[in-house]
Amino acid sequence: MPDFAVIAGCALAGILYGLLGSFSLARNQALLGDVLSHAAWPGLVLMLGLTGSRNFAILGIGACLAGMAGMAILDLLGRGSNRLKPDARLALVLSGFFAVGMLLARPVQSIRPGSQGHLQAFLFGQTAALVWSDVMVIALVLALSLVFAASRWRDLTALCFDPVWRQTTPASNMATSPLLDTILVLGIVAGLPVAGVALVSALLVCLPVTARVLTKRFLPGTGLAMLLGGLLGASAPWMVMGLESLAQHFHGDSTLRLPTGPVFVLAGSICAAGALAFRYLARSRAKATGAINHAAN
């Protein structure tokens, strides 16, 4: 039986990803999350080096600042030469911030002995180490995001669907877009202990993609993505346990540890693949029947 804190943390993180992912998918920023999570990495490392704290709430502050810096540099690169295409800018920021974090990692480990394992947990997500204070951080960010989304829902819809038109309405005075970016950074950082730097962004994509295939409106779609995220998150620790014992049964090695992130992501990806396959089959069947009807006529 997994720890209750682990289940709660994963479920809350899943709900959070479903919500934030719906917005970033609708704004065609599926890869921004990937860049931001890697950008948060040097912040985590540096904060650990500076404070020596193991408290995620403190490390998270560093990660958020680094994430914001990543977003600012992405913006700066966009102001430079036109020869720098958007995909190149994303790739440079992603790998650059991660490399800086890795450069700092060894010096930090030498001044803070024993921190290596702690940092590793953030790479792939190590929910076994999840404690109630981490869960509280996730819950707090989720609450903040929910309040923000609920209060600004209409403006968010307009921003996601037609930002240019929104700019011409009185709503353009509201700072919804920078707030959404900030919340995205907060959400990504809050989810790091669950899914890890490498895989947080995947959940921002696969949950809303699944929901989008199954619904045709934004609000129910977002709700569905959150529901799916919550369900998968709550069941991920069990899946991890199942897979671990399966592997143990297979080769009898009981010391192995499976990180939660990949399992969560794989479950989400399977859902997305299932939904897309369902749509693909439905479409090709519709095409086939259309062709038959056409021939019959």
Partner 1 sequence: MLPIEWEVLLLGCLTATACGIVGGLALLRKQALMGDALGHSLLAGIGAGFWLLGSSRSPWLFPCAVASGLFAIMLVEFLAKQLGGNQATALGLIFPAFFSIGIILISLAPKSAHIDLDRVVTGNLDLAPLDRLMVDGHDYGPRVAWSMALALGFIGFYLAAYWRHLHWILFDPAGAHAMGLKPDRALSILLLLTTCVITLAFETMGTVMVVSLLVAPGATAWLLSRNLTNYLLFTVAVSLGAALTGRFATLAIDASTTAATSCAALALFGTAFLLAPQEGLLARWRASIKIRERLDARLILVHLWHHEIRGDSEIECLASALTHHLNMPEVRLNKALNRLVKDQLAEKNGPLWQTTTAGTLLGRSLVEDDTGSRED
Partner 2 sequence: MLPERYPAAPALDVEDVTVVLGDRTVLWDIDAVVPRRTLCAVVGPNGAGKTTFIRAVIGLLQPISGRIRIMGESFAQACRHVAYVPQRSGLDWDFPATVLDVATMGTYTSLPWWRQLGNEQRRRAKAALETVGLSDLASRSIGELSGGQQQRVLLARALAQEPELFLLDEPFQGVDAASEASILATLTSLRDSGRTVIVVHHDLHTVAERFDRAILLNVRKIADGPVSECMTESNLRRTFGARVGFDERNTDPRSMATDA
CA pair distance 207, 268, nearest whole angstrom: 6
Residue 34 binds which entry of partner 2, partner 1, none, CB below 5-8 Å type-dependent: partner 1
Stretch that binds partner 2, among 92-100, 210-218, 265-273, 279-287 (CB under 8 A): 210-218
Q: Smallest Cα–Cα separation from 19: which of 111, 171, 138?
A: 138
To which residue do tokens 């994303």 refer? 90
Residue 170 binds which entry of partner 1, partner 2, none, CB below 5-8 Å type-dependent: partner 2
15 HSE (CA, 13 A, CB side):
18
Stretch that binds partner 2, among 12-20, 59-67, 162-170, 237-245 (CB under 8 A): 162-170
Is the Cα dihedral 210, 25, 157, 160 positive or negative? negative
Question: Binding residue for partner 2 (CB under 8 A) from 101, 221, 230, 262?
Answer: 221
CA pair distance 39, 66, nearest whole angstrom: 6
Question: If you ran DSSP here, which 8-state letter would residue 190 be given?
Answer: H
Q: How far is the CB of 212 from partner 2 (least distance, A)?
A: 6
C-alpha distances (whole Å) from 3 to each of 89, 135, 138, 271 are 41, 12, 16, 25
Residue 205 binds which entry of partner 1, partner 2, none, CB below 5-8 Å type-dependent: partner 1
Backbone angles phi, psi at 28, to 5 degrees: 60, 40
Q: How far is the CB of 115 from partner 1 (least distance, A)?
A: 13
Residues that bind partner 1 (CB under 8 A): 25, 28-31, 33-34, 38, 76-77, 79-81, 83-85, 87-88, 90-92, 94-96, 98-100, 102-107, 110, 120, 123-124, 198-199, 201-202, 204-206, 209, 243-244, 246-247, 251-253, 255-259, 261-263, 265-266, 269, 272-273, 276, 280
Q: How many CB atoms are located within 10 Å of the residue 297 CB?
A: 5
Question: Binding residue for partner 2 (CB under 8 A) from 105, 152, 198, 271?
Answer: 152
Question: If you ran DSSP here, which 8-state letter would residue 1 be given?
Answer: -
Enumerate binding residues for partner 2 (CB under 8 A).
26, 28, 151-152, 154-155, 157-158, 160-162, 164-165, 167-172, 174, 212, 215-218, 221
